[in-house]
Amino acid sequence: MSSNVSSFVPEVARSEAEIIAGLRQLAKAYAGRIVFSSSLSYEDQLISHWILANQLPIRIFTLDTGRMFAETYEVLQRTNARYKTNIEVYFPESAAVERLVNSKGMFSFYDSVENRKECCFVRKVQPLNRALEGAACWITGIRAEHSANRQEMPQWELDEARNIWKFHPLLYWSEAEVKALVKEYAVPFNPLHEQGFVSIGCQPCTRAIQPGEDFRAGRWWWEDASKKECGLHKA
């Protein structure tokens, strides 16, 4: 890897203006090799807005595991229509899904952490790795508030396994700050967010949370909190 993202963005890009300027510099420095992975969450929708409204040459993609909520597909369609774009969609390999389902059933992920991580690997990690092929810089919507594992995460870091630089522009933002701009710019968002779903993934693995519960309580709720990672952002 020839460049470090810290050469192009401040050590801490905190304000909206700093983030947009940083994204613009990164798009120039990594021309044709910079991508943004969107889960269509509040955070990712705001970053997509910054990229698309400012016509930044950053490729945007999302992962379709085959088990998403209907509302998630609808927000993808509304986003494409609003910004006159075509967010790329990556699917899991059908043969890998067939092997998993035929050998362990449709709901093997409920049986053990190992089974759940296997399902995540087939449906999410492998498609992500394909989507990142050839990229040198990866933009994400991670925020420190998302989980205890992300509290000490730097805003930019090297994913050594994939040999790719990662930039987390909203790392230090609060949920309230993100929502405020989504509302101000009338950015399309998933209506499930207003029904208590704060972290939205696959339908069988996501539930609404109750007041006072942790942000990630609604994801893989049957597991210990310390194990709630799917491998997309494995350290």
Domains along the chain? Answer: 5-94+128-227 (3.40.50.620)
Average pLDDT over residues 160-181: 94
b or e along 50-88 (b: 16 or more beta carbons within 10 Å of the residue's beta carbon)? Answer: bbbeeebebbbbbbbbebbbebbeebbebbeeebeeebe
pLDDT tens, position by position, 128-158: 999 999 999 999 999 988 766 666 788 889 9
Phi and psi torsions of 20, nearest 5°: -60, -40
Return d(Cα 27, Cα 50) in angstroms, integer: 13
Round the CA-based radius of gyration of the chain to a whole number and report it. 17
Neighbouring residues of 197: CB distance < 8 A, sequence distance ≥ 6:
190, 206, 207, 208, 209, 218
pTM of the model: 0.91
CA–CA separation, 174 vs 42, rounded Å?
A: 11
Averaged pLDDT for residues 60-84: 98
Q: How far is CA 100 from the centre of its chain?
A: 24
pLDDT of 210-234, one tens digit each? 988 888 889 998 998 755 666 566 6
Residue 157, token pair as written in the block: 């870091």
Q: Which residues are catalytic?
A: 230
The separation between the first and the last C-alpha atoms of the chain, rounded to the nearest angstrom, is 18
The answer to whether the beta carbons of residues 87 and 63 sit under 8 Å apart is no
- pLDDT for 8 equals 65
